[in-house]
Amino acid sequence: MKPRGSGYVVGVWRLVTLLAMLWVSVGFAHASVDSRIEFSGNIAVPRAVQEFAWRVIKTRCNYQSYEHDQRSFWAYNVKTSRSGTGVAYSFHVVSDLRWKKTDPLSTIDMTVVDDGSIRLTSLKSTFVVCESPQS
């Protein structure tokens, strides 16, 4: 039996890396086409809430229109809670320019309530100015 050399290790490492990338892309595959915010596939945020959150970012945060296509938007730390007759979704969105990693990440914290009509109840941000719902 021939001993396995460094070529075998490199091949296994490439396979593991490829499988990890595939697993991550499948996890985010459930994101809505109308929302540029990537939610993990195992988080139960309705598409309507995801699309509303994207409209909030487009209309209330002062990104330039071309930045919407250049930036990536990732939702994390999603929390759901019952509020009266509806459900409140609180989450953080981090955004960066894919090609300019030296700029600081902008973060947006938002709470959206779905009680038959979807509405924004809280909006805070860093490194980007967003108009809060009380304005």
| 62, amino acid identity | N
* Distance between CA atoms of residues 97 and 73, nearest Å: 9
Query: pLDDT band for position 3 (50/70/90)?
Result: low
Among 7-11, 27-31, 89-93, 105-109, name the one with the lowest average pLDDT: 27-31
Among 32-36, 52-56, 90-94, 101-105, name the one with the lowest average pLDDT: 32-36
> What residue ranges in 35-85 does DSSP mark as E strands?
37-38, 71-83
Domain boundaries, the chain: 31-126
Place of tokens 């730390």: 77
pLDDT digits (tens, 9 = 90+) for 82-98: 978 899 999 999 998 87
Query: pLDDT band for position 101 (50/70/90)?
Result: confident
The side-by-side arrangement of strands in the sheet containing 118-126 is 37-38, 71-83, 86-97, 106-114, 118-126
How is domain 31-126 classified at the architecture level of CATH? Answer: Roll (3.10)
